[in-house]
Structure 1
Amino acid sequence: MSVSAEVGQHATTVHVRFFASARAAAGVESELLSLPAGSRVTDALAELRDRHPEGLPKVLEVSSYLLDGVAVRDVDNPLPDGAELDVLPPFAGG
């Protein structure tokens, strides 16, 4: 099920940036989502799962997210139009 907005409807545009294994799973560095007005972070994640069904869903399960540079604690947070959503899988190192 896609949550892409219909033509002529108010939409929320979200710029998604992928890092590390999320980038590898998505096959792109970033992409734009056009979602219905009132969409939440969880709606953006569902759209990403639909667009990249092969490897990205598993990565999304263990990832953290930044919404406009602030850690997402609740995926039911609303998405403001023009938001930037960063997908941050676990990183190794120290």
Structure 2
Amino acid sequence: MDLPSSAAPEEIQRHEATVVVRFFASARAAAGQDEETLTLPPGATVSDAVRALRDGHPGDLGRVLDAASFLLDGIAVRDVTLPLPDGAELDVLPPFAGG
């Protein structure tokens, strides 16, 4: 079955990704807020989100991001080239000390 010329296949219909970034502990202090919403281009990755955070927050946040772990929708990120789906939550977890 042929598609009308105005229809595009799903794989070409790419939209921006809106990602809610939540900051915890020293990341919250460095960012100066609990959370931030990023709008990223189609195909953006965790690494792209981290870069956008660095660009938007000169100062201590970059140092915190260097040591941080990330959760994407509650799952530990092991590969920062992982694409970000629209509506995702990215948690920034700095190293925690305890005792």
> What is the TM-score when the length of structure 1 is the normalising length?
0.89
Partner of 1:51: 56
Other-structure match for 2:74: 69
Percent identical among aligned pairs is 67
Q: Which residue type is aligned with residue 75 of structure 1?
A: V
CA RMSD of aligned residues (A): 1.1
Q: Pick the structure with more strand per residue.
A: 1
> C-alpha separation between the residues in 2 aligned to 1:74 and 1:50?
21
Gap runs ≥5 in structure 2? 1-13
TM-superposed deviation, 1:53: 1.1
Q: Which runs of 5+ in 1 are unaligned?
A: 1-8
- Alignment map for 1:35-46 (pairs within 5 Å): 35-46=40-51
Q: Which amino acid aligns with 1:18?
A: F
The count of aligned residue pairs is 86
